[in-house]
Amino acid sequence: QVQLVESGGGSSPAGGSLRVSCVASADITFYCMGWFRQAPGKEREVVATIGRGGGTTYADSVNGRFTVDRDNAMRTLTLDMNSLRPEDTAIYYCAARGPWCGGAVYQRRDDYNFWGQGTQVTVSP
């Protein structure tokens, strides 16, 4: 069982940058990790994923603007968000699939069994 706690986020004008972070309560070396977001009235959607080996995937809407990274020694997952747009406004959730994850790419909400409480990101026009 791992607990995830997000931090960071906040508010930014369009074109700005923010970082959201996630700290895990246990070793995440063999977990697959991901960031999801949920805007008001919309379904939760994948933003970025990072596998055990560091391979990454991004939603088309954020590709080239967002960067996901992990530091297993610090049990931390980060999402750097640049060139923010108002449509990036959402609650951002850290997610983990484990305690052991295979080499496949996991991009569905149901693929992840541990979730953080979420952190708000608001981008103004």
- Looking at residue 124, what is its pLDDT? 98
- Looking at residue 103, what is its pLDDT? 82
Per-residue model confidence as pLDDT tens digits over 5-44:
999 999 999 999 999 999 999 999 999 999 999 999 999 9
d(C-alpha 67, C-alpha 49), whole Å: 10
Q: Is pLDDT above 90 for 104?
A: no
Question: Whose CA is closest to 45, among 61, 56, 23, 32?
Answer: 61
Coil, strand or helix at 86: helix
Give me the phi and psi of 83, to 5 degrees please. Answer: 50, 50
